[in-house]
Amino acid sequence: MQLTTDMSELFVKIHSARLNNIDERKASKRRKKNELLGQYSGGENIRRERIIQVLPNMEFVFGTIP
């Protein structure tokens, strides 16, 4: 009887760890998506970096920007 209770506890531990892992992966995907959308806590910095990367191309198209 002791063996079955140990096994059921082990099953619960494994199952809860698996659920936590799935939750963490979903949260990680959500964070990556939000970073790409620029809605992360550092979103303003990401947007600024993108604008800075775009400016040389605009200079190429429109000539020098005053």
CA gap 32, 18 in Å, rounded: 21
Predicted confidence (pLDDT) per residue in 11-30, tens digit? 888 888 888 787 888 888 88
Question: CA-to-CA distance for 66 and 55, rounded, in angstroms?
Answer: 12
CA angle in degrees (0–180, nearest 5) for 51-56-57: 90
Whole-prediction pTM value? 0.36
Which pLDDT does position 33 carry in this prediction? 80
Domain ranges of the chain: 2-62
